[in-house]
Amino acid sequence: MKLENKAIIVTGASRGIGQEIAFLLAQNGAKVVVNHSNSEDEANATVNKIKSNGGNAIAIKADVSNREQVSQLFDKTIKSFGKVDVLINNAGVMISKELKDNTQEDFSKQFDINVRGIFNTLQEAECKLADNGNIINISSSTVKLMFPTYALYSASKAAVEQMTRVFSKEIGRGISVNALAPGATETELFLKGKTDEFIAKLSSMNAFNRLAKPIDIARVALFLASDDSKWISGQVIGANGALV
């Protein structure tokens, strides 16, 4: 029970990688906040599954791009669990288009959620995260790749990585701040619309000839959320099977 009595916010935790992280943290004793912006049914189902397995979790709706809602997310967590020990910034969106085809709205949506969202939660964590806590910002291995159609998404994640590095030296109070950069991961949202040929191509680009499973990423998040990782801070941890 590496995380016993730790209160952890996981943004965007109603599905995919965030959901798997929430499940694994709860299995290891954490009190988990399953955050969502508009997936109430899925968030409640995630909470119910955690509780049915003997864990402790609540669902809180908040749009991370909205500063006031982020403040309420932290306040409600503290009201329910007494503190926030760990923040995992998983919420994000990806719009895959060639640069010339992106609209102003495409740009704003990705940067509002992927970048402003983390800016908002880090500002709240500055004063509301407990001493000696942990922050994990989910980035992407696309930052190191030149994948066509990923220009804006990878640019937004590059911003996340740089904020991670700088904020790790600013926050103090024994708090570690790291980014976790998954490679291609087998989630419903990721697989949607992709051909078998494209998935096979992605799989062949790493050393294991397969896509990651969400649990592969969740296990790294578990380590970074625990005290075992305390001396790691300001780093970007690639979880991509030697993709890059």
Active site residue ranges: 139-140, 153, 157
Q: Which of 169, 78, 155 is nearest to 124 (CA)?
A: 78
Distance CA 119, CA 174 (A): 20
Distance CA 141, CA 94 (A): 13
Q: Left, alpha or beta for 194 (phi > 0: left; psi -120 to 50: alpha)? A: beta
DSSP state of 86: E
Q: Kindly give the residue spans of alpha helices, DSSP state H, lying in the chain.
A: 16-27, 40-52, 67-81, 104-111, 117-128, 151-170, 188-191, 196-204, 214-225
Matching residue, tokens 């994948």: 147
